[in-house]
Amino acid sequence: MTEITREKLIIIGSGPAAWTAAIYASRAQLDPFVIEGSFHRTMVPGGQLMFTTEVENYPGFPDGVTGQAMMEDFKKQALRFGTRSVMEDVERVDFSGPPHRLWTSGGAELEADAVIIATGANARWLEVPGEERLAQSGGGVSACAVCDGALPAFRDQVIAIVGGGDSAIEDATYMTKFASEVVVIHRRDELRASKIMQERAFENPKIRFLWNTVVTEVIGDEVIEKLKLENRETGETSELEVGGMFVAIGHTPNTGFLRGQVDLEPSGYIHLPSSWRTATSAPGVYAAGDCMDDYYRQAVTAAGTGCMAALEAERWLSHG
């Protein structure tokens, strides 16, 4: 029979939200146990920042910091106050408690009085040749214009934005501050973005649209040089010289294993019943970071909500 380990507080995830929650919880002597996640092609312990090079917008780092160094330091800071952790996935949960029950990919069964979910989200990629290599090497391919768009490499370049929803049009408008031209590449002949955003984008002289078009390859050795394109209607192929590409086709929150256990939005993000609170629909279960936030999606907001979740869990544990 599997031995069941009882914990006071389990934190699921290991991005900025999870480690911030762990720093607060361990300093408050809640003895948190972090289940970090394991290594997958599109997600690793440390979270989304492990896939980016330079982080320039996190306060406290005047010279910037690499995503990996930053996440190593987040973890070190949490371990310093006694946080324990394991690199496994949570595969299944039963939140009918407390105690709540969790099952991990390592075969462990655990119980917890409180749980903080900080499992983040995965940016969707095009999955075409060249894209992953140049995204991981910092070669001008990214899934976050607000994060990376202001980097010097993108200044005065032709920048491609792939997508047709609100995020894509927001990214396109944002990139007109830096780029010489922004080319929105969209697979359909009309945008899904709100009418007002569309109108602003159509009026912007720096933005050009390529309709019914898909990217089939990203070309460049060290840095992106051009895109191979295909028109979906005519089948015609072409090339576009660019100095950067931002993929803005959405995110998938890592919440599949929670279905039926906490309320989720139709989009899969965790539903939080009260604004400015991280409590979920299950008592003693909190959510922080990109798994519940489809709007801000930044490291500093993830860390902020990690702090909120730890403070709420602490109150729950002392009064519950």
Q: For binding to ligand FAD (CB under 6 A), which residues are involved?
A: 12-18, 35-37, 43, 45-49, 51-52, 55, 57-58, 89-90, 118-121, 123, 142-144, 147-148, 254, 257, 289-290, 297-300, 302
The one catalytic residue in 73, 89, 94, 144 is 144
CB-CB contact of 11 with 287 (8 Å): no
70 half-sphere exposure, CB direction, 13 A CA radius: 27
Examine the residue annotation and report whether 291 is marked as an active-site residue of this protein: no
Whose Cβ is closer to ligand FAD: residue 121's or residue 282's? 121
The one catalytic residue in 89, 147, 171, 291 is 147
What DSSP line would sit under 24-81, residue for residue?
A: HHHHTT---EEE-----SS--TT-GGGG-SEE-SSTT-TT-EEHHHHHHHHHHHHHHT
CB-CB contact of 154 with 140 (8 Å): yes
Examine the residue annotation and report whether 221 is marked as an active-site residue of this protein: no
CB-CB contact of 53 with 67 (8 Å): yes
Q: Nearest residue by C-beta to ligand FAD?
A: 120
Omega within 30 of 0 (cis) for the link into 98: yes
CB-CB contact of 14 with 36 (8 Å): yes
Examine the residue annotation and report whether 148 is marked as an active-site residue of this protein: yes
Whose Cβ is closer to ligand FAD: residue 209's or residue 305's? 305
> Residue 285 Cβ, how far from ligand FAD at the closest point, in Å?
14
Whose Cβ is closer to ligand FAD: residue 11's or residue 207's? 11
> Residue 79 Cβ, how far from ligand FAD at the closest point, in Å?
15
The two structure tokens encoding residue 132: 């992953």
Whose Cβ is closer to ligand FAD: residue 104's or residue 157's? 104
> Residue 296 Cβ, how far from ligand FAD at the closest point, in Å?
8
Whose Cβ is closer to ligand FAD: residue 209's or residue 298's? 298
State the CB neighbour count (10 A cutoff) for residue 308: 21
The one catalytic residue in 148, 171, 290, 293 is 148
> Residue 304 Cβ, how far from ligand FAD at the closest point, in Å?
11
DSSP state of 281: S
The two structure tokens encoding residue 134: 């140049």
> Residue 27 Cβ, how far from ligand FAD at the closest point, in Å?
18
Q: Which residues are catalytic?
A: 144, 147-148
